[in-house]
Amino acid sequence: MLAQLDAVQSDALAQLAAAADAAALEQWRIAFLGPKGELKSMMGGLKDIAPAEKPAVGARLNQVKVALEEAFKQRQESLGASASTKHVVGPQIDVTEPGLVASWTLGKRHILSRVREDLVEVFARMGFVVAEGPELEDDEHNFVKLNIPPHHPAREESDNFYVDDPRTTVRPRMLRSQTSTVQIRVMETQRPPIKVIAPGRVYRPDTVDATHSFMFHQIEGLCVDQGVTMADLKTTLLSFARAFFGPGAEIRLRPSYFPFTEPSAELDMKIAFRPDQPARWVELGGCGMVNPAVLEACGIDPEVYTGYAFGFGIERIAMGRYGIPDIRMLYQNDLRFLQQL
Ligand code: DAH
């Protein structure tokens, strides 16, 4: 029996050393120290042993039991320690945990689209209808019929995105540099009374900085009918300013020159973009009475009809209204910017 105990002890210790994880360790514990384990069954065998030998065998049995329990504890600790070093390698992921995003973020229309819609809405209430024209235009609509003669500085190659060579092409195509082209498109195809508003993109090869972009947006207005006067223009612009920016808005017309209007004016609006800011004069664009030469070029009799036109930049309004310091922010689509508006 004593020899058997020695064998059990060395066998148990060898197996313990080989147990490499918690499951193997537990199996070992059940096999040797468990209630139906090796030691328990040997204790059961004590009763068959000669009484004289009992104390020695009993003592040895106890020794083996204590030794195995001690060895088990040590092995458990060293395995546990290496198991916890394993944890350091990477976090355990609980796939049942709720995600970090608690709800879906809804998208919304871009700030320029919303300002454009607001502008159209205000003019629509004054009876203007939305008109459109192509962004790929030709010089006839961008210049000729707008009374901008050949060799006018506005036609400079360096100031326009020509698609065809203007020196060798009869009617060179270009990306439109102004929405005034839509005035021509409308007057070519419609007869007065005309009352249209035309928002859209325009292109100019400007160097990009905080206030310039090679592409930006304008909104163009045109009204042609019998007896239309400068007073109608001013009334329309003032009504627009008050409807769009609030009842305190004021407008100011400064004499200017555009080939397609006569007389022409620069349009300023005194706007408090935010309630906490004082109102200030902001230049929004140009306006004037449609030049009779333009009406005539479109087949409208300037002896019978008169008209007014205006055009201003949409970015400038958006930037003023929302306190945007740099035009590039409107095109970069940085979520941190977009989510604020
Ligand atoms: N097209 C002009 C520009 O881009 C703005 C403008 C001035 C539009 C006078 C008009 C107008 O309709 O009458 O600078």
pLDDT in tens, 302-341: 999 999 999 999 999 999 888 899 999 999 999 999 988 8
- The CA distances from residue 281 to 78, 249, 273, 310, 326, in Å, are 79, 10, 11, 18, 19
Is residue 6 classed as helix, strand or coil in its secondary structure? helix
Q: Taking Cα atoms as reference points, which of 311, 309, 306, 310 lies closest to residue 193? A: 306
State whether the beta carbon of 176 lies less than 6 angstroms from ligand 1: no
Element (H, E) at 222: strand 215-225
In the sheet that holds 136-138, the strands lie side by side as 136-138, 173-175, 161-162
* Residue 285 beta carbon below 6 angstroms from any ligand 1 atom: yes
Q: List beta partners, residue 250.
A: 270
pLDDT grade, residue 75 (50/70/90)? confident
- In ligand 1, the atom with minimum distance to the C-alpha of 261 is 13
Q: What is the pTM of this model?
A: 0.71
Q: Please indicate whether residue 286, judged by its CB atom, sits closer than 6 Å to ligand 1.
A: yes
pLDDT of residue 101: 67
Residues 269-303 have pLDDT tens digits of 988 777 788 888 989 999 999 999 999 999 999 99
In this prediction, residue 19 carries a pLDDT of 85
In this predicted structure, what is the pLDDT of residue 253?
Answer: 97
Residue 83: what pLDDT? 54
Fold of 111-338: BirA Bifunctional Protein; domain 2 (3.30.930)
Q: Is the pLDDT of residue 121 over 70?
A: yes
CA 262 to chain centre: 43
The distance between the two most distant Cα atoms of the chain, rounded to a whole number of Å, is 143
Which range in 23-27, 131-135, 276-280 is most confidently predicted, on average pLDDT? 131-135
Cα atoms found within 13 Å of the Cα of residue 206, Cβ hemisphere only: 15
Instruction: Grade residue 85 by pLDDT with cuts at 50, 70 and 90.
Output: low
Give the pLDDT score at 9.
Answer: 87
Q: How far apart are CA 68 and CA 28, in angstroms?
A: 10
Six-digit token pair at 120?
């159209």
Confidence class for position 208, pLDDT limits 50, 70, 90:
very high
Share the mean pLDDT of the chain.
Answer: 91
Q: Which string of DSSP letters, residue by residue, matches 311-341?
A: EEEHHHHHHHHHT---TTHHHH--HHHHTT-
Residue nearest to atom 7 of ligand 1 (CA): 286
Tell me how far the alpha carbon of residue 265 lies from the centroid of ligand 1, in angstroms: 9
**CA distances (Å), 185 to each of 37, 76, 257, 327, in order?**
99, 88, 22, 29
- Which atom of ligand 1 approaches the CA of 179 most closely? 1
Question: Going by CA atoms, what residue is nearest to atom 8 of ligand 1?
Answer: 311
Pocket lining: 307 vs ligand 1, CB cutoff 6 Å = no
pLDDT of residue 45: 83
CA dist., res. 142 & res. 176, Å (int): 6
Q: What is the DSSP string of 123-182?
A: HHHTT-EE----SEEEHHHHTGGGT--TT-GGG-GGGSEESS-TTT-SS-EEE-S-THHH
Above pLDDT 70, what percent of the chain?
97
Ligand 1 and 200: CB distance under 6 A: no
The residues spanned by each domain of the chain are 2-85, 111-338
For residue 79, the model assigns a pLDDT of: 81
